A and B are shown apart, each in its own frame.
Chain A
Amino acid sequence: MNKFIPLIFLICSFEVLSDETQIDFNNDAYPFSSEAHEVLFYSLLNELRCPKCQSSNLAGSNSPISNDLKREVYELVISGNTSKQIKSHLVQRYGNFIIYNPPLEPATYALWFGPFLLILLALLVISFVRKR
């Protein structure tokens, strides 16, 4: 069923948008009017997780839910949403599980600051040991 979606989309958007914007089709499954939008779209596909797959991002999955989510992301991108807004939209629905970049919150402080604290700690220990 969802494999039809890019095609239906392509045909529909061609009819709706071709007079208003200069989208150059080139057989794009996901046509964009600006390169910035295109870059944003594909980078988001790499950062978002397929909720149903064992371990895969949207870019690497052709499962129905992934295709649906790609369409959702596409529509959000061409409506002018920012990366933050799009991720927040999806997190609202699927939880933090769906983004591969964990949020910065008290529960993840250890994750984000850990490595650098460890380096600091190690340097302190070394200088302490050297003094002796």
Chain B
Amino acid sequence: MIPEIGHIILISHLVLSFIGGTLPLVAVYTKSKYFYIPVKKLSVFLFMLILMSFMILVYSFLVDDFSVAYVSQNSNINLPTYYKFAATWGAHEGSLLLWILAMNAWLIGFIFFNNSKDEDYTSTVFSIACQVMFAFSLFTLFTSNPFERILPIPPLNGADLNPSLQDIAFTVHPPLLYFGYSGLLIPFAIAVAAMLFRKDIKEWAGNSRPWTLMSCSFLTMGIALGSWWAYYELGWGGWWFWDPVENAAFVPWLLSVALFHSLIASESRGVFAKWSILLSIFAFATSLLGTFLVRSGILTSVHAFALDPERGLFILGILAFFIIGSLLIYSIKDLENQPTHSYELSSKEFGFLLNNLLLVILAVSILFGTIFPLIYEAITDGKQISVGAPYFEIILFPFALALGLLQGVGLYLSWGSSSSFKFLPRLIIESISIFALVLIILFILFDNLYLTSFATIFLFSWILMGTLQISKKRNLNYWSFLRKRAAVTFAHLGMAILTLGVAVVSSYSLEKEIIMAPDDSIEFGNQTILFKNTEEIMGPNYFSKSATISFSDGSNSYDVLTEKRTYIPSGQLTTEAGIKTELFQDLYISMGDNLEANIWSFKVQIKPFIRWIWLGALLVAIGSLLAGIKRVRRV
């Protein structure tokens, strides 16, 4: 009975979002009070509906209602309770419900915290957002209904949640990522409303900026968590694979970063009006595109959801409707009525222009590279090719270099007129000093210097000093200065730290495949690795063969556990790595194959500075969230 209620509520959401997507627009254009609906109340109601529907699905998981097909496909009696909760978004259907929930949450946030006095404009933004939610609800109900039942005889037990998803990161990574993806809905709707109403650029840019910043923050967190999770879960020790699904999230991230930078210039100086609109549309488009790539089955990936061309077609249809629609408005409407200030090549405006150019072209290149194997297959009549990490890293490097150099000087630039470049010599000296310092520290820690890391380490120093701006002349004291710019300081500092992490882990990592019997020990890096013993462990829904390994650096020793788990319901095998986290490095070991008796193969790695990558990402997310929240209150 209860799943049916969830189903009906979803249908109500469909109907109401249709109403919300049409009536306000009619009211605005006919200026007739007859079509007026209370937008605030409707947004709350919509949110409550989807929340209830979502909670009913969660409830079905928690009570083991295997008559619901989705629950039986993704859960099991023996699944620990917190995973039952997370299993709600473990596969396609439930994750769509999460998407719709997230969109509703953003919409409520916008409706309640948006200070625009222009009701027509606000209602239009609301309407457009409702249209998108309607499209998603339609998609869910017609092709991906999570409330489908297996009746009259429901199964006694479920198939189990995919074992690689049975992990703590899975409870946070998808929600954060989806909130990031779906948040781009608001800037999109604002841009379209701005076009329809010929809104003043400074006004609508200021309106859109906080929402773009906050979406970017969630995307940052979602992506970083995904990277962290892949690192310790997959046993390979890598933190970014340039897998199609990873790229599908990275591209909207790049565009959202470009967008809020463009919006800063638009809000402050009224420039880039058309560009900001276009970028708002494309940021959301790539967000939808990511959804398409992951669920349509055209790209193979460790991540891909249900391989179903019919669903792919539907998503493509949604993409087509909204993006073609908005681009049509863009081509038809005359948007050239804003007088713009002119700006020099050495200005902040031009800096943002370059920033956008680099970010957008990088995003386009990554997108192209991701779908290229399909294009290649089509033009060579069937030949296959792979485009992976080596390619993307080669392409990324010059862009990252240029963006990093720009980031170091960006905060020194002023609007409009020629900025003085007196800061440059000081910046160079400061950066070189930090660079040298880092090299000394790395040599002390790891006994080695690698030429391949030099450029990126210098980039870290450059961005660091360009953000801290220690030597810039100011009227305030340094701490007040930093406090006023806390958000951008956090964010840029985060990028610097992330860069350092990447630099060190890319050049200083060590790896080796080894074979050991119990009581064997080997020397690796500056560690002695001892294979202590094996054990059989019984988990709630798995049994495992585990190996206790100790890492010792001479003075201290520390035990980690690595396991080979067999999950009982599905029979699937997973490898759990044993990791020791230190300040400057991770010690990583994962079990391989059982060769004979108690002899096992292992893969052991030392990953210096790898945590700094995610620490940096966390700072970026905090900075952008802070910036967004500050601006919401101000607007």
Contacts and interface: CB of A to CB of B under 8 A. Distances in A.
A and B directly contacting (CB within 8 A): yes
Interface of A: 2-4, 6-7, 10, 26-30, 38, 42, 46-47, 49, 54-57, 59-60, 62, 67, 95-103, 107-108, 110-111, 114-115, 118-119, 122-123, 126
Given A49-B386, A108-B376, A6 B300 contact: no
Contacts of B512: 28-29, 38, 42
A2 B520 CA distance: 23
Contacts of A67: 593
Given A28-B512, A55-B301, A102 B593 contact: no
Contacts of A99: 386, 390
A99 B388 CA distance: 8
Interface stretch (B126-134, B365-373, B547-555): B365-373
B362 interface: yes
Nearest to B520: A27
A62 B596 CA distance: 17
6 residue pairs, one from A and one from B, having the closest CB atoms? A100-B388, A3-B593, A60-B236, A101-B390, A29-B513, A115-B365
B384 A96 contact: yes
Interface in B362-411: 362, 364-365, 368-369, 372, 376, 379-380, 383-391, 395, 399
26 contacts: A3-B595, A6-B593, A6-B601, A7-B595, A10-B515, A27-B516, A29-B513, A29-B601, A42-B512, A49-B386, A54-B300, A59-B236, A60-B235, A60-B238, A67-B593, A95-B383, A96-B384, A97-B384, A98-B386, A102-B372, A102-B376, A111-B387, A114-B368, A115-B361, A115-B364, A118-B361
B390 A100 contact: yes
A4 B595 contact: yes
B357 A54 contact: no
Q: Main SS of chain A's interface residues?
A: helix
B387 A102 contact: yes
A26 B244 CA distance: 38
A123 to B, nearest CB: 8
Interface in B500-555: 511-516, 520, 522-523
B353 interface: yes
Report which residue of B361, B386, B520 has the largest number of chain A beta carbons within 10 angstroms of its beta carbon. B386
B316 interface: no
A118 B357 CA distance: 10
Contacts of A60: 234-236, 238, 241
Q: Report the interface size class on chain B.
A: 35 or more
Contacts of B386: 49, 96-100, 102
A95 B302 contact: no
B304 interface: yes
Contacts of A114: 365, 368
B143 interface: no
Contacts of B241: 55, 57, 60
A100 B523 contact: no
Report which residue of A26, A55, A107 has the largest number of chain B beta carbons within 10 angstroms of its beta carbon. A55
Nearest to B602: A29
Contact of A30 (B235, B379, B380, B513): B513
Contact of B379 (A38, A42, A107): A107
Nearest to A94: B384
B296 to A, nearest CB: 15
A57 B302 contact: no
B304 A97 contact: no
Given A7-B599, A67-B593, 8 more contacts: A4-B595, A6-B595, A7-B515, A7-B601, A55-B243, A60-B241, A126-B353, A126-B357
Contacts of B302: 54-56
A123 B387 CA distance: 27
B165 to A, nearest CB: 15
Given A26-B523, A100-B390, A3 B372 contact: no
Contacts of B383: 95-96
B136 to A, nearest CB: 27
A49 B373 CA distance: 14
B594 interface: yes
A100 B596 contact: no
B592 interface: yes
A27 B365 CA distance: 43
Nearest to A122: B357
A115 B395 CA distance: 8
Given A60-B236, A98-B386, A118-B365, A7 B520 contact: no
A3 B300 CA distance: 27
Contacts of B304: 54
Nearest to A100: B388
A119 B235 CA distance: 38
Nearest to A9: B515
B58 to A, nearest CB: 29
A4 B380 contact: no
Interface string B304-317: 10000000000000
A4 B365 contact: no
